[in-house]
Structures are given as C-alpha cells and as structure tokens.
Amino acid sequence: MVVLALAFYLFAGITIASGVMVVATRNPVHSVLFLILAFFNSAGLFVLMGAEFLAMILVVVYVGAVAVLFLFVVMMLDINYAELKEGFIRYLPIGALIGAILLIELLVVIGAWAIVPTAEERAPTPTAMPEGVTNTEALGRLLYTEYVYLFQAAGIVLLIAMIGAIVLTLRQREGVRRQRIADQIGRQREEVLAIRKVEPGGGVS
C-alpha cells in the first residue's frame, strides 16, 4: 500500500510539475517535451487505477501521434514570440477577471456539492469489473453493444473530418510529374529505344 501511495504521489507530482512547465517554459519545443512527460505520467496514474487499456492508448495515441505532430508543427512554424508575449500582457487583466469569475463559480459549485444531501447517493457508482475479463475486452463489450450508436456516429464524424481535410487542402496542380506504374510496365521497347550506328569520329547528329 505504501508503494502504491508513493507511486501515486510520484506520478501525480510529476504530472502537475510538467503541466506547469508546459506553460512556463520559454522554448515551445521544451513545452511539447514537457507535455509528453505529462502524458507518460498520466498513463502511470491510469495503470494505478487498473485501467491498463486507457494507459496504453494514452501513450500510443497522445505521445505517439498527437505530441509528435505538435512537435513537427512547432518546429516548422515560424512564430514570433515577442508578439505573442505582447498580446499576453495586453489581455492579462480581462483574462484574470474571467479566470477569477470562473474560480468563484467553481467554488460555489463545489460548495453546493457538499450541501446537497442526496449528492452522495446520486453519485453514479462505477460498474464492477466482470471477473476473468481483461480491461480491453470489458471496454469493447460496452462499446459494441450499449454504445454502438455513439461508436458509429463518432466514426462518421471522423469520416467527415477526413473529407473536410481533403476538400480544403488537396489541389490538382499542373505540371507535376507523377509515377504511373501501369504506363511504365506497358512501355514497349520500340517506343523508347533507338539503336544508332555511330561512325568512329563522326558523333551523333
């Protein structure tokens, strides 16, 4: 138990610290690297909770795909940081005001949570893990039965994202040399090959 608690505080502490560093660090590449660290530690927290599948997905999808994409974008884009900082200072007062209002709202909400007498019994209880079933299988059973409607709908959302990306960015450019394998294979010797007799010292006219 002590080991578990230690591991939890280790992961949680590093997650929060790297979260702070993401915002605080000057170099955006370092920000992304800290973000990756935060993802890894969140994955550790998921493992502690017994959600191995989510932990693995977090590493594979977020670290493997999203964060690397971020890294590429940050490295490729030429962002003027001085200008960004300027905007930050200018909008600081209004941002702080909105933040304060949101904080007060949250406090009110959390305060009410304690007051509402039925909150405890209303809180949904986590579904017990069926015996002898792995994490992934349990999620799959839910996803493909009870939530199949949402699963399919989410698939269509992704399809639209793909169509949208193609519609908005794909250009048929003129004068681009493409490899046409069928043409290459279908080439006849006569079309492309000519044998010339070259006289010694005469050259090719």
Nearer to other proteins, 72 or 113 (CB): 113
Q: Does residue 137 belong to the site contacting other proteins (CB under 8 A)?
A: no
Residues binding other proteins: number (CB under 8 A): 31
Q: What CA dihedral angle connects 96, 97, 100 and 104, to 10 degrees? A: -170
Q: Does residue 156 belong to the site contacting other proteins (CB under 8 A)?
A: yes
Shortest Cβ distance from residue 163 to other proteins (Å)?
Answer: 6
Q: Does residue 77 belong to the site contacting other proteins (CB under 8 A)?
A: no
Q: Does residue 167 belong to the site contacting other proteins (CB under 8 A)?
A: yes
Shortest Cβ distance from residue 165 to other proteins (Å)?
Answer: 9
Residues of this chain, 114-133, that bind other proteins according to CB under 8 A: 116, 118-119, 122-124
Residue 74, CA distances (Å) to 22, 30, 37, 156, 190 in order: 13, 10, 17, 29, 52
Q: Which candidate, 53, 34, 21, places its Cα nearest to that of 139?
A: 53
Q: Does residue 166 belong to the site contacting other proteins (CB under 8 A)?
A: yes
Nearer to other proteins, 10 or 106 (CB): 106
**Main-chain phi, psi angles of 175, to 5 degrees:** 75, 20
Q: Does residue 109 belong to the site contacting other proteins (CB under 8 A)?
A: yes
Tokens of 163: 């169509």
Nearer to other proteins, 20 or 112 (CB): 112
Q: Which amino acid is at 57?
A: I
By CB under 8 A, which span of 43-51, 79-87, 106-114, 173-181 interacts with other proteins? 106-114
H-type alpha helices, the chain: 2-24, 28-48, 52-57, 68-76, 81-90, 92-115, 119-122, 135-145, 148-169, 181-185, 189-192
d(CA 135, CA 48): 13
d(CA 61, CA 56): 8
Q: Does residue 149 belong to the site contacting other proteins (CB under 8 A)?
A: yes
Interface ranges with other proteins (CB under 8 A): 105, 108-109, 112-113, 116, 118-119, 122-124, 145-150, 152-154, 156-157, 159-161, 163-164, 166-169
